[in-house]
A and B are shown apart, each in its own frame.
Chain A
Amino acid sequence: MKSFSYERADSPAAAAAAAARVPGAKFIGGGTNLLDLMKLQIETPAHLIDVNDLGLDEIESTDDGGLRIGAGVRNTDLAADPRVRNDYAVLTRALVSGASGQLRNQATTAGNLLQRTRCPYFYDTNQRCNKRRPGSGCGALAGVSRQHAIVGSSDACIATHPSDMAVALRCLDAKVSTVRSDGTRREIPIEAFHRLPGDTPEREHDLAADELITAVTLPPPVGGTQLYRKVRDRASYAFALVSVAAIVHRDGRAQVALGGVAHKPWRVETAERELARGGDARTTAAALLAGARPTRDNAYKVTLVERTLAAVLAQARESGS
């Protein structure tokens, strides 16, 4: 690990101010992604700002009947919250399908959103990777790309975003709240939070260096049957090859987001209109994956999306949505 200085901030304002003050500073939440990458010197922050003492660990009901989740809430606590289990079950389902019991006890809401890709070429510093070293080339495009993206990718990068939680948040139309050192606050809709790789795969979001995530807000509950189905190489403790988050309503309307297929949670409004019109898994998957550019290694994901979606829709019908 490269050397760094460390401080523990005691308020969101102090954390943002510290990030503005020290060049190369980073926030640390649970540390489960950042420390892993620091050991490999893929991340080399000069200064760490511990954000575990900011009082951002509450889940509160909002005036309009939604839920405001503090940035520091642990994945375990978010998954176990009775309001989330009852009204936003897709979020609990997604969270408990991710990582392990130990890691969910450490991982925070903000850290989960900002976790970096698990592309093996990104992790192996001997390999070429435009995300890790811009301009060096993409090892995956020329190599083994079984786990990689099939939609929204570019010639520079075909990595996926590994978060399960983010896929559920996309399905639920969550908003991400931030604050900067000058006190500016903004709310970023989840669909605009993560970027596609384009020519700058090293930039995964538009947050400024001194921009602290303070909360994630869910709109009022929408009901429906809420499911998260994750297909992976092992039954537990593995990242998604493909995942489907879905909220299916009695009248045929549905919200559907995919994980494991793109650089961000993948949701397509025309596909949802197709479903509402009575479309099946085949036509809906086709709309979801319009313009897909799979590689030889990951073409199976196109079929897998259709089949996983079919299974989810069948399960929703069974549970009487």
Chain B
Amino acid sequence: MERFDPERRRVLKATAVAGSAVASAHLLLQAEAATASANATRLDTAATPHHDVRLRVNGTEHELRIDPRMTLLDTLRERLHLTGAKKGCDQGQCGACTVIVDGRRIASCLTLAVMQQGHEITTIEGLGTPRNLHALQAAFVKHDGFQCGFCTPGQICSATAMLQEIASGIPSHVTADLTRPPRSSILEFRERMSGNLCRCGAYSNIQQAIAEVAGVDADEIV
């Protein structure tokens, strides 16, 4: 089996540049930016008063002048070029845009950047690095917790905060006894991760990756 190489995407990009007579790295980046903006929420062209905001993302302060219509997701992707969080649906329905704000997972497509000043925002880029993977990132690699990878940053941010939710005693729909703290189990993980869809259907491997990190028997009957 091919060894996982976190540099693979960069290598592929470089190959594409080298393999084409006309494309330069510069053009390729422009093309990427154009595709990205086409995916961003369409804004009405009428002038809107802009806001100067300070956003704290992955430990770094950013000062930005933004249109109040910018969602947190579009701001992360288009302005800060943190393209880990993905836009799957833009309607809160898929979880691909999940980021962690003040320790809690949220759908970044359904909040405005102007609303997130003064909060600590963590994206997949802030959880781990290719050379120093977060435990869940490493477990996703080990258990093949993805195919296309589109949902993966959202899955991993979601799972990170989800394990914290169980640890801090927050109940779920499948918590049988509300008077006691919930216990980690496959059933709890499945219910709590239902806000993250995977079009490739990597669910069982995602479940195994989470179970390993949480120290739960992945073969537990549910």
The residues of A with any CB-CB pair to B shorter than 8 Å are 1-6, 8, 28, 30-32, 35-36, 39, 48, 50, 52, 76, 79-80, 85-86, 89, 92-93, 96-97, 99-103, 105-106, 234-237
Contacts and interface: CB of A to CB of B under 8 A. Distances in A.
B49 interface: yes
B107 A236 contact: no
B115 A96 contact: no
B92 interface: yes
Closest 7 CB pairs of A and B: A100-B195, A236-B194, A3-B48, A6-B68, A237-B194, A85-B178, A105-B104
Nearest to A32: B110
Interface string B79-123: 000000000001110010010000011110011101100000000
Nearest to B110: A32
Given A36-B92, A96-B171, A102-B105, A4 B68 contact: yes
B41 A102 contact: no
B171 A3 contact: no
A210 B129 CA distance: 48
B111 A100 contact: no
B179 A106 contact: no
B169 interface: yes
Contact of B71 (A35, A92, A99, A105): A35
Contact of A85 (B46, B68, B90, B171): B171
Interface string B29-70: 000000000000111101111010000000000000001110
B194 A31 contact: no
Given A32-B107, A36-B92, A106-B107, A101 B71 contact: no
Nearest to A85: B178
Given A30-B111, A96-B172, A100-B92, 15 more contacts: A2-B46, A4-B48, A28-B112, A28-B115, A35-B71, A76-B104, A79-B171, A96-B175, A97-B173, A100-B95, A103-B92, A105-B104, A106-B110, A235-B191, A236-B190
Interface in B162-195: 162, 165, 169-173, 175, 178-179, 190-195
A32 B49 contact: no
Main secondary structure of the interface of A (DSSP, over half): mixed
B69 A100 contact: no
Given A50-B115, A92-B178, A101-B165, A3 B195 contact: no
B126 to A, nearest CB: 17
Interface in B194-210: 194-196
B75 interface: no
B158 interface: yes
Contacts of B158: 101-102
18 contacts: A1-B43, A1-B69, A3-B46, A4-B68, A5-B48, A5-B49, A6-B114, A8-B115, A32-B110, A39-B41, A80-B170, A96-B173, A99-B195, A102-B105, A103-B195, A106-B106, A106-B107, A236-B194
Contact of A5 (B68, B71, B110, B195): B68
Contacts of B162: 101
A302 to B, nearest CB: 26
A106 B108 CA distance: 10
Contact of A76 (B98, B170, B179): B170
Contact of A3 (B41, B69, B107): B69
A268 B81 CA distance: 54
A233 B43 CA distance: 34
Contacts of B43: 1, 3
A35 B110 contact: yes
B47 A36 contact: no
A28 B68 CA distance: 13
A236 B196 CA distance: 11
A1 B41 contact: yes
